[in-house]
Amino acid sequence: MRLIDPIVAELDQEAQTTRRVLERVPEDKLPWKPHPKSMSLGQLALHLAATPGMIATIASQDRVEAPSFQQAEAKSRAEILDAFTQGLATAKDLLDRIDDARAMGTWTLARDGKVLMAVPRLAMLRAILLNHSYHHRGQLTVYLRLLNVPVPSIYGPSADENPFG
């Protein structure tokens, strides 16, 4: 087994849940924000959807300049789901190319030549590809709750859905 295989397996498993959350995003509320400093629902959903492909793409490089983090707003749920489908395909393709030496190789994030982070690529994938996605998926479920949209089960029952009963 390669070092990257558990990351790919977890990405596959969690993608099913993430898709269920993204499928609940109400199209008529995409511009909605819970607070003026927050991303809109459409921005957050599109960011979550694009994360697998975007992070796998930057992980395939050895050194990356920190992005500006300007997030576009989705125009439709279909755009969100298409971005997620495409992003997952991109991520799986790129991750499949990572051998053990590359997985343990250093990945560096810099801004204006200054190193902000230098970690093994595997650690970057765990922290940003997976954990970062879970963070934003959790945020998105709060948005859904505030909009009175039924929240799907994630790791067990939600107030709206019980996979065990």
The predicted model gives 36-56 an average pLDDT of: 97
For the stretch 95-145, pLDDT in tens is: 999 999 999 999 999 999 899 999 999 999 999 999 999 999 999 999 999
Note whether 85 and 16 are within 8 A (CB): no
This model's pTM is above 0.85:
yes
For the stretch 64-96, pLDDT in tens is: 998 877 889 999 999 999 999 999 999 999 999
The structural architecture, per CATH, of the domain 5-146 is Up-down Bundle (1.20)
Contacts of residue 71, Cβ cutoff 8 Å, sequence gap at least 6: 39, 43, 44, 46, 47
Contacts of residue 29, Cβ cutoff 8 Å, sequence gap at least 6: 41, 147
Domain positions in the chain are 5-146
Q: What is the pLDDT of residue 165?
A: 80
Note whether 152 and 33 are within 8 A (CB): no
Note whether 27 and 77 are within 8 A (CB): yes
Residue among 126, 125, 111, 132 nearest 64 (CA): 111
